[in-house]
A and B are shown apart, each in its own frame.
Chain A
Amino acid sequence: MSAGRSTGWALIALGGALCAGIGARLLLGRDPSTGNWIVGVPEAEIALLRFGAVQSGVAAGAALGLSGLLLQALLRNPLASPFILGLSAGAGLGATLAAWLPIAAAGAAAAFVGPDALLPGTIGAVGVLLLVFLLGRRGGVLDPLTLVLAGTVVASMCGAITLLVQSMMPPTSRGELWSWFMGQVPELPRTIPFWNTVAMLVIVLLVASWKARALDVASAGDDEAASLGVAVGPLRLGLFIGAGALAAASVALCGPIAFVGFMAPHLARALLGGLHGALVPASAVAGAAILVWSDAIRQGIDFGSGRLPIGVLTALVGGPVFLLMLRSARLRRGDWSC
């Protein structure tokens, strides 16, 4: 089978997985009294809610998948993702501060405005990314494991500061923020975060597709890339901002959701190989498919305290995948193939 043909089939397979996930999320439900699955076309009101969840899941999942791909490509690190490198935590901290500052300024009686702030979230995400990038260098060279460790530590620190800020908020605001922090795919997505995510996704998708060949070349390291005609510095800075903005947009929409940005590029790479011309759209589709499927599956999982938060489900699935990758000998010698 020719390369072009197999790429076409792989893209169709990913698109099919996304469509199937959308179908599952729209048609699958759960009877609250018996706990049994219900399959079928729901009433109009419920259908609208499910459609809203599909919109949120597709937008946030695609943003996370594309953000993860850009980070893995530009850091030359297959372990990179918005969650693992602390971008989600940085975005969460920025959004929490943006929510808290008006309350702090107006007094405890002020209403909680919600984690809508895209700009503070983007500043938080990009700021954390630059910090982790600096901390992840050993002897002037990016070290994959040091980078991951730096991301983990910075994410923990951001998480601690976020908890501190939350503890200073009124209890009503705190409860809403906590559930947002466990990850939620909103059935009634707020207008600004949703359209922000869509706009960021379209812009970064177009720019990344335009720069796909440069991303291929950049994967050979800074010196080899420069000798092949690509100045990695400006490319890295531009697409870092794009990856940070996507992570912040998805966090503003759905809260921090673990491992989707890590798994989606690997799934796309396993099906399509390593060239970014196909990987850029495929990672976005894979991210959307993973998040929509996760949201559909979690409808049927209830431990007595309501449906399983989506961030918990993706962490339970993505965590072992990450550990397997970490232990992979092929990964340690720099081979990204799945």
Chain B
Amino acid sequence: MLTIRNASFAYSQRRVLHSVTMQVEVGRTCLLIGRNGCGKSSLLRLAAGLRAPTDGSVQWCGRETSAIAPAQRARCVAWVAQRSMLAIDVTVRDVIELGAVHGAASVSAEELLHELALEPLASRRFHELSGGEQQRCIVARALRQHPDGGLLALDEPLANLDPAEAVRVIQALRRRCRKGGVVIAAVHDLALADQWADDIALLDGGRLLAFGPSTSVLQPSTLSSAFGCEFLARSGSLALQLPRGA
């Protein structure tokens, strides 16, 4: 279980998270939504233990995540960046295998190549791939690291993915949840979030504005206040209301 209690965080003097409190139960997917710069990525870094909160606590299975040694933490927590900074010229298979250096996954690179339809790209150079292909490759690396019952923190894992690939990645992440894991991810597609999430955390200016099942959070009035634009509820789903003349 991921437990975040009164967690605040600041880069130097700039405070980006203010007393966030939330809890994600085992087997659930929690999606973070909010405007650009609202603190989603910072909250994911705290969840993954890459930063320690300046106040409050972030715990995974009762242990302060940032206090766990990196090699040990890699066996229970995996993190996917918005964009990989990988600087070496290696193949897709090599990139996925980096997850196994300290990870504890039960699946092999070959199984992951199959699961995320990366087999045709296995011997291609990582830097020659499109943005979406690179993103799938980095998700596969996190899954190669991820043990059953672990935490997956993903920063915009569906960025640059076409709909079919997005569905494939979501299915792979759901399978990890069913095996007792927890997924926490930042997304921008609210319609997709509505279908995918068990819980949604809506952030605004570093504060947790709403947290709970999508039916309670994804309300036009709540979203309008957080995003500063109008939303309509249309046939059971949300739609962005464009200003007249736009």
Contact = CB atoms under 8 A, between A and B. Distances in A.
Interface in A301-338: 330, 334-337
Q: Which 9 A-B pairs have the closest CB atoms?
A: A229-B102, A229-B74, A274-B88, A221-B85, A337-B89, A227-B79, A274-B89, A219-B88, A229-B71
Given A274-B90, A275-B88, A336-B87, A228 B45 contact: no
**Most B Cβ at <10 Å: residue of A3, A73, A221, A229:** A229
A17 to B, nearest CB: 21
Interface of A is mostly: loop
Contacts of A73: 88
Given A229-B70, A335-B127, A224 B88 contact: no
Instruction: Report, as a range, how many residues of chain B touch the other chain.
Output: 20 to 34
Given A224-B86, A275-B88, A230 B101 contact: yes
Interface string B75-91: 10111010011111111
Contacts, number: 93
A233 B101 CA distance: 18
22 contacts: A3-B91, A214-B101, A217-B98, A217-B101, A220-B87, A221-B87, A223-B50, A226-B70, A227-B48, A227-B73, A228-B98, A228-B145, A229-B71, A229-B73, A230-B71, A230-B101, A231-B69, A231-B71, A274-B89, A274-B94, A336-B88, A337-B125
Interface in B86-113: 86-91, 94, 98-99, 101-103
Interface in A264-294: 269, 273-275
A231 B86 contact: no
A244 to B, nearest CB: 21
Interface in A144-186: none
Given A219-B86, A220-B86, A274-B89, A226 B98 contact: no
Nearest to A335: B127
A228 B85 contact: no
Contacts of A226: 50, 70
Given A223-B50, A224-B84, A230-B71, A337 B127 contact: yes
Interface of B: 45, 48, 50, 69-75, 77-79, 81, 84-91, 94, 98-99, 101-103, 125, 127, 141, 145
Given A223-B81, A337-B125, A337-B127, A228 B102 contact: yes
Contacts of B89: 269, 273-274, 335-337
